[in-house]
């Protein structure tokens, strides 16, 4: 067995003090996000792990890209018929988590998920590079395919079919918005005495709770 017990880091880059905590978690998320962006050491700040409860009863986590956020929620795009799409249809409760090692931070968001308006999905779809638009058309995400070759062929056929024309957004493709019910902010500290601030909604208001590391 490979011994990994020597792999350890002391987290000492920052802290999350009680003084000055914003009233709303979205403000803290935006602050952290902007700090990460300014710091410039995180290759994909908007990559987040989306966990769903699968139709087989197992949780499943995979990475998707956060495309927008405000105080109403967090938006990402995917295939509505994919494995995750089916899971969210059956159980619209999800967890989003971000790990930002460059600043030793983690954010964990639990909430309910719903599809965004088709018009918004349409607008975003057409803002993507043509190759990505065609890719969405070419892929029945999460289903098996005979070979890589088959997929590449499908893309080529679509490229010539839509040459010089607008690519229609497939009905099965669009955005989801996660409306948070809780948001936990984790800042690594020395001696494993990390800071954890949990925001939860209680009686319609956001409340802050400090958790033990
Ligand atoms: C960095 C990164 C970004 C990704 N972004 C997305 C995304 O925004 N939407 C998406 O559907 N899949 C995205 N994927 C692929 C998913 O992780 C996953 O493979 C795919 O959505 C199929 O998941 P499913 O079969 O569980 O539905 C991304 C993967 C990585 C590694």
pLDDT in tens, 14-35: 999 999 899 999 999 999 999 9
* Helix 130-138 × helix 118-127 angle, to 10°: 120
**Is 13 inside any structural domain?**
no
List, by residue number, the catalytic residues. Answer: 192
Query: Backbone phi, then psi, for 73, in 5-degree steps?
Result: 150, -175
**Is 178 inside any structural domain?**
yes
Atom index in ligand 1 nearest the CA of residue 78 equals 11
pLDDT digits (tens, 9 = 90+) for 45-57: 999 999 999 999 9
Q: pLDDT confidence of 144, banded at 50, 70, 90?
A: very high
pLDDT value, residue 113: 98
**Is 163 inside any structural domain?**
no
Q: Which of 45, 50, 65, 113 to mutate to test the pocket of ligand 1 (most atoms within 8 A of CB)?
A: 65
**Is 75 inside any structural domain?**
yes
**Is 167 inside any structural domain?**
no
Interatomic CA distance for residues 188 and 11, integer angstroms: 5
Cα atoms in the 13 Å half-sphere on the side-chain side of 142: 13
**Is 5 inside any structural domain?**
no
Q: pLDDT confidence of 187, banded at 50, 70, 90?
A: very high
Q: pLDDT confidence of 93, banded at 50, 70, 90?
A: very high
**Is 138 inside any structural domain?**
no
Task: Report the domain count for the chain.
Answer: 1
Query: Concatenated DSSP letters for 143-208?
Result: S--S-HHHHHHHHHHHHHHTTTSPPPPPTTEEEEEEEEEEEEEEE--GGG--EEEEEEEETTEEEE
pLDDT value, residue 53: 98
**Is 104 inside any structural domain?**
yes
Residue 38 belongs to domain spanning: 25-126+174-211
CATH number of domain containing 56: 2.30.110.10
Give distance in angstroms: CA of 139 to centre of ligand 1: 12
Q: pLDDT confidence of 75, banded at 50, 70, 90?
A: very high
Q: pLDDT confidence of 94, banded at 50, 70, 90?
A: very high
């Amino acid at each position: 067995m490979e011994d990994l017990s020597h792999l350890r880091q002391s987290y000492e880059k920052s802290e999350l003090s009680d003084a000055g905590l914003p009233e709303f978690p979205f403000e803290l998320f935006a602050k952290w996000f902007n700090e990460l962006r300014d710091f410039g050491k995180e290759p994909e700040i908007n990559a987040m792990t989306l966990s769903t409860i699968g139709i087989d009863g197992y949780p499943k986590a995979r990475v998707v890209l956060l495309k927008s956020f405000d105080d109403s929620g967090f938006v990402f795009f995917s295939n509505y018929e994919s494995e995750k799409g089916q899971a969210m249809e059956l159980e619209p409760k999800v967890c989003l988590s971000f790990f930002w090692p460059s600043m030793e931070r983690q954010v964990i968001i639990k909430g309910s998920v719903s599809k965004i308006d088709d018009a918004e999905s349409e607008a975003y779809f057409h803002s993507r590079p043509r190759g990505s638009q065609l890719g969405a058309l070419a892929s029945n995400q999460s289903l098996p395919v005979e070979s890589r070759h088959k997929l590449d062929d499908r893309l080529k056929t679509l490229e010539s079919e839509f040459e010089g024309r607008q690519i229609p957004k497939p009905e099965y493709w669009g955005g989801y918005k996660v409306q948070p019910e809780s948001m936990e902010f984790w800042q690594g500290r020395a001696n494993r005495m990390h800071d954890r601030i949990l925001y939860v909604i209680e009686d319609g208001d956001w409340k802050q709770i400090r958790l033990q590391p």
